[in-house]
Homo-oligomer: A and B are copies of this chain.
Amino acid sequence: MNDVFKALADPTRRMILDLLKDKDLSAGDIANHFSMTKPSISNHLSILKKAELVLAEKQGQFIIYSLNTTLFQDVIKWMLELRGET
């Protein structure tokens, strides 16, 4: 779960997840939402992908990213346990 927490620690990466909530987007579309270079966004995407918070599917020359919230379950479980809500 460490990769997940590390990935969530950066505000840009959390914003990317927020963007993907509404619809899947290409790397370029995502980058266009930020005042940051494409390689920087590409790096953030690779961190999110390594944490399995996003999925990447190649469609021709585009790579379409989508949200994967399955690991949120583990985080939520950990938090609820800390709250004593086993």
A interface residues, Cβ below 8 angstroms from B: 2, 5-6, 8-9, 11, 14, 17-18, 21, 67, 69, 72, 75-76, 79-84
The minimal Cβ–Cβ distance linking A7 to chain B, given in whole angstroms, is: 9
Per assembly, the copies of the chain total 2
Q: Given A5-B9, A9-B6, A11-B2, verify A72-B81 contact (CB < 8 Å).
A: no
Query: For the complex, what is the distance from the CA of A69 to the CA of B5, rounded to whole Å?
Result: 17
A contact patch SS: helix
Nearest residue in B to A53 (C-beta to C-beta)? B82
Chain B residues near A2 (CB-CB < 8 A): 11
Query: For the complex, what is the distance from the CA of A69 to the CA of B84, rounded to whole Å?
Result: 10
Chain B residues near A72 (CB-CB < 8 A): 79, 82-83
